[in-house]
Structures are given as structure tokens and as C-alpha cells.
Amino acid sequence: MKRTGAWIAVRALEALGIKYTFGIPGVHNTELYDELNSSEQITPVLVTHEGGASFMADGMSRTSDLTGTLVIVPAAGATHAASGIGEAFLDGVPMLVICGGIRTDLDKRYQLHELDQHAFLKALTKATFHVTSHAEIVPMLFKAWEIAHSGEPGPVFVEIPVNLQMFPGEVDEMPGRPLIARPQRATPNEIRRAAEMLLAAKRPAMFLGWGARDASEQTRAIAEFLQAPVATTLQGLSVFSAAHPLHTGFSFGAAAVPAARNSFADCDCLLAVGTRFAEIATGSFGVTVPPNLIHADINPAVFNANYPAAVALEGDATMVLTALLEELRKVGAGRTANIELHDRIQRDKLAYIEEWLRHDSGGKVNPAVFFNALRAAVPDDAIAVVDDGNHTYLTAELFPVRQPKALIVPTDFNSMGYAVPAAIGARLANPEREVFAIVGDGAFTMTCMEIVSATRLGLGLVFYVFHDGELSQIAQAQEIPFNRKPCTDLGGIDFSGVATATGAEYIPVAGNDDVLQAIARARELAAGGRPVIVDLIMDYSKRTAFTQGAVKTNFKRLPLAQRLRMVTRAVKRKITG
């Protein structure tokens, strides 16, 4: 049977369970889009920018079992999408990137969009494929999907030349859907040794990252068995319920909230699962990791990268922790509930919130007032999509997340502009769940026009914009050492104009008194299928624990001469103005 490459590719995507693609039609993929238009299973979503497409695909993959998939043009489409592809790569998020390619049946150079895309995308993907015949389309797409989901997930790039899309060629029967390989290589001896170390410890603790997202039952059972306090990475905020009495918060070192700092201060054995101990997760490497570190991860490259592991357990978190829990129950008895520890964690959490609520926000919105109201209003399974900036750490410290995959955030690639499009992808993947975005004004300006896509699709989403007129996370980092904040002033932005331009509703919030009513009205409008921009005039004058801790950690790490130079410069500028 002869079929065009576009027909073959779309049938392969259907067989892989793809339901949405994101991108923009162009010269080198119009055949693909024509076939997608005929699909009864796949809905192609037009975006305003391919960067938004890649963030949408990321949000879809993070919050569901669907595979976020791009269909983009070569060269400019690939470079535009690169930020979201890179985010997925560093954060371990599966993604299929299907790209048109220049004609391979011509003996001409300097064709439109001619670029070695594979060299460009090599560092941003797990693998790249260049289809050279009709017979390769299905095997390569299937292999790309398998690689994207196997081991530590990530994006995979497939280039299909436009001539193969246009012209018919021989096609075989569609093979079965490939299997996802998530091996468990930790040995019984390693599992036993880890269990013995945890049981022998006086003050064991747990540190959970995104890799533990599907192991909530196991992590909860182990924490309760050991009566171990639990902290999470930034990306892993939703892997352990904040309602649990052993949950302490984000990170556990100098940049952590008091509940985590105090609970981990005397930790003598740490079980870390699905985390790389990366810079943000550790508050600029400001954590103290005990010698008795048990590190479980599907990617063996993370072991001993930043902190040496006494025991390294390679494998999928669910399988490794299931085996570890069984071994714990075999070799020892579980501890009785440590009520003193539970009470101390709860006291520390309440004291921290009360400290924020006492802060005078000068007529603007106090972050704690907003997050208290939001948490009380939205259901536990609502999905929070958070951007990169000061609002990220405010969310991490002040908004308790109670269900798995109920919060997603760009972490290691750290892309600003993530939240608006990622919220669209998350909502498409989860039509039965409430989805909202937390985004700073600087990040919002990067991708706010993608709300056009939400309006066109009839998606009810709320975008809570933390409006302070600065790139505040960087401005705060500049203020102390430089005594000035160069190039971080955003100027006056009227976000009501963005609402008008994109078809969204607009709700301004000037201070604390308007917060409750604004949240209620925004959710009401979103429930009717309208995107809503809530413009919060936010007070950023109080620093998060993360910002204060990370600045101190980085400052202490500098050589003495450089510390003296920076202090002298700051003092001199403060005196001279």
C-alpha cells in the first residue's frame, strides 16, 4: 500500500495515543497539518509562538499520561521552541518534537530554513532522528516515543523532510505500541543495606524530587514507618502532601523555611529520591548532607555528582521504594507516631505564616493574604502552574500543595514565560480539573499573548499576575551588593490592555481587601470558559527564606577579598547615593 509520509506520520501518532499537537503551519509541514486536520483523534493547536507550543507540550506531559507533542517548521520554529525543549530536557519531561525538513530529493543548497537542526538540538534532547524514507517514519516515531518515556524522560526530535510528507511511498502494517523501559537495577543487598541504615538512624529524614512523583503511596508509607520529616525540591513540591504532619517544606538547608531547617538540623541519615541535588533544590548548595546518604534515582549519572552516597539505588522510584518498604518491614518495626516532631513542624509552619501576615504591605497585596485566600478557595486537585521569579519562591513557601502533580514549575532550565502556555497544555490534558497560573509581571510579558490561544479554545484559566513593576528576584539580588538595581525596572504596564487584546476578562486587585472577591469572581468567570487576568499589585518588600538563604550562602562562598570588595562598594554607594 502506498501512502504519503504525512499520512503515515499521523497514523503513527494516533497509534502512540497522541491527542494534541502544538505548533504553527509553515512551508515544510503543511502536509502534516492537512493530515492532522483529518484525524478524528488528534487536535492540532495553533499557537502564537513556538516557544509557547513547547511550554504547552511540557505542561501537558507533566500533569497527565499524555505525551506533549510539537509539530513545527524547521530552523526558526526549532529555535523558537528551544526554551521549552530545553526545559523538558533538564527537568525530565517527555516530549515529541516533530519537525518538517528541507527537501532531500533536490540537489540544491541554501534552501529555505536549511540548518543542521540535529547539531543545534543535540544538547537539548535525548536523541534526534532524521527520516530518509517512508519505511523509516513509523519505526523512528515509535522509537522516539519510547526514548522520550524510558529511563529519565525527556524530549526527542524527529525531522521529516517535506518531500517525504508530500509524496506517496510504501507503508507496512502499524506495529504495536512500544514498551516503556524503566528498569530497577538496585540489588537486594543494596536495598537491605539502605533499610538497615535507616532503621539504625536516630533522626532519619527524606528529601523528595520530581522523580518521586508517581510514588506517593510508597513515600508516605516509608515516612510514617520511620517517622521521618520530609522536604521536597522545588520541582517536587507536589510529590508529598503538605497536609501530612511530617511534611516540612521546600529544601532543608539555610534557604529553607523554619519547619524544614529545624527538622533537618540533626539529620543523621537521609533518604533522597528522584533528586539531583541541583542548585535550586539545595539553595545554592547550602544544605548539609549527612555521610549516611541513601540516594535513589533512575539516572545513575546523578549519584555522587554533588554529594557522596553511602548507598546508591538505581531504578524507577516506585519500584525501588516498594522494595525498600518491604525490606524495612522485614528487618525492623515501624516507629510510633512522633507527636513531638509533628507538633514542632506545625508550630514552625504557623509561626512562619503569621510572621508574613504581620508584615505591613503598605496598602498593597500581602503575599500570605493572597495565598491563604487562594488555598481556601480552590480544591486540592486544582493544578497550579508557576512561572520563574520571586513569585516562585513565595508560592513554594506560602501555598501548601496537597495532591500529586497539583503544581508544576520550570526548574533547572529555569525559563521565564513558562506559566501562561504551560497552563493551557495542563488544562487541555485535564479538562475536569481547575487550572490556574501564578506568574510575575516580567514573566507574563514574555508569553501573555498566548492567552489568545486559550480564548480561541474556550479554556477557563485564571492568570494571577504578581505585579510589582520589577524583575524582582534579580532586583532583590542586586540591591544589597550593588545598592542599585540596573535594568530590572519594567516601567508602567497596563495589563487591562492585554486582556482586551487577547479576549480575556480583567480583574484589578489593589490591596488585601479586594483579594477574596477577586478570586471568587475570577473562578466564576473561568468556570464559564473564559480566561481571566487577575492583576495583583503585590508587595515584594519582604524577602523569602529562599532568597535570604541563597544570598547568604553565595556570599559566604566568595573569597574574603571579594566579600570585602562587595561590602565596601555597597557601603560607598549607600553613602554617596
Element (H, E) at 376: helix 367-377
Question: Does the reported pTM lie above 0.85?
Answer: yes
Kindly tell me if the per-residue pLDDT of 555 is higher than 70: yes
pLDDT number for residue 352: 98
Q: Which of 292, 185, 282 is nearest to 236 (CA)?
A: 282
Burial class (CB in 10 A: 0-12, 13-18, 19+), 56: buried
Q: 286 with 372, same domain?
A: no
Q: What was the pLDDT predicted at 325?
A: 98
Residue 456 falls inside a structural domain? yes
Residues 157 and 265 in one domain: no
Between CA 546 and CA 250 the distance in angstroms is 9
Q: How far apart are CA 436 and CA 523, in angstroms?
A: 9
For cell 544544605, the residue is: 287
Average pLDDT over residues 157-164: 97
Residue 368: all three cell numbers together = 500570605
**Does residue 423 sit in the same domain as residue 506?**
yes
Quick: pLDDT tens for 350-409. Answer: 999 999 999 999 999 999 999 999 999 999 999 999 999 999 999 999 999 999 999 999
Question: pLDDT value at position 575?
Answer: 76
Q: Please report, for residues 20, 135, 142, 499, the alpha-carbon distance to residue 33 in angstroms, rounded to integers and kept in the order given.
A: 12, 20, 19, 29
Q: Is the pLDDT of residue 158 over 80?
A: yes
Final residue belonging to a domain, choices 170, 201, 224: 170
Residue 568 predicted with pLDDT over 80: no
**pLDDT > 90? residue 195:** yes
* Per-residue pLDDT at 215 exceeds 80: yes
- Residue 331 domain-assigned? yes
Beta bridge mates, 71: 98
Average pLDDT over residues 435-460: 97
Which residue shows C-alpha cell 524503566? 182
- Sort 447 into a burial class: Cβ within 10 Å, 0-12 / 13-18 / 19+: buried
> Span 317-342, mean pLDDT?
95
Shared domain check, 227 and 157:
no
- Residues 271, 306: one domain? yes
Q: Quick check: is 551 in a domain? A: no
Closest residue by Cα to residue 225 from 96, 309, 336: 336
Are 435 and 293 contained in the same domain? Answer: no
Residue 480 pLDDT = 67
231-to-19, 86, 159, 444 alpha-carbon distances in Å: 35, 26, 41, 29
More confident residue, 172 or 509: 509
Q: Are residues 227 and 290 in the same domain?
A: yes
Would you say residue 148 lies in a domain?
A: yes
| 506 pLDDT higher than 80 | yes
DSSP labels, 404-434: TTSEE---SS--TT-HHHHHHHHHHH-TTS-
Residues 151, 38 share a domain: yes
Is residue 204, in this structure, part of any structural domain at all?
Answer: yes
Residues 165, 34 within the same domain = yes
Higher pLDDT, 255 or 174: 255
Gap between the Cα atoms of 521 and 130, Å rounded: 50
pLDDT at 300 over 80: yes
Domain of 94, CATH number, reads 3.40.50.970
Q: How far is CA 390 from the centre of its chain?
A: 15
522: nearest Cα among 370, 400, 361, 392: 370
Residue 20 confidence (pLDDT) above 80: yes
- List the domain range (segments joined by +) for residue 120: 2-170
Residue 296's beta-bridge partner residues? 273, 313
Last residue of a domain, one of 339, 368, 385: 339
Q: How far apart are CA 143 and CA 145, in angstroms?
A: 5
pLDDT at 478: 66
Least confident of 23-32, 267-276, 550-559: 550-559
99 occurs within a structural domain: yes
Confidence class for position 577, pLDDT limits 50, 70, 90:
low
Band of pLDDT at residue 24, cut at 50, 70 and 90? very high
As a whole number of angstroms, the distance between CA 170 and CA 172 comes to 7
Q: Kindly report which listed range (55-69, 314-328, 477-491) carries the lowest average pLDDT score.
A: 477-491
Whether 451 and 383 map to the same domain: the answer is: yes
Of the three residues 170, 203, 228, the one that is the final residue of a domain is 170
Domain identity same for 54 and 143: yes
Q: What is the pLDDT of residues 70-97, one digit of tens each?
A: 999 999 999 999 999 999 999 999 999 9
Beta strands (DSSP E) in 452-558 are: 462-467, 505-509, 532-537
Q: What is the tally of structural domains in the chain? A: 3
Quickly state the pLDDT bin for 566 (edges 50, 70, 90): confident
Q: How far apart are CA 276 and CA 516, in angstroms?
A: 39
pLDDT value for 298: 97
Task: Indicate whether 325 and 395 sit together in one domain.
Answer: no
Q: Which of 118, 165, 114 is nearest to 137 (CA)?
A: 165
Inform me whether the pLDDT recorded for 476 exceeds 80: no
Query: Which domain CATH number covers 253?
Result: 3.40.50.1220
Residue 113: the pLDDT is 81
**Model pLDDT, residue 311:** 98
What DSSP string runs through 290-317?
-SSEEEEES-GGGTTSSS--SEEEEB-H
Among residues 263, 198, 211, the alpha carbon closest in space to that of 240 is found at: 211
558 within domain boundaries: no
In a domain, residue 67? The reply is: yes
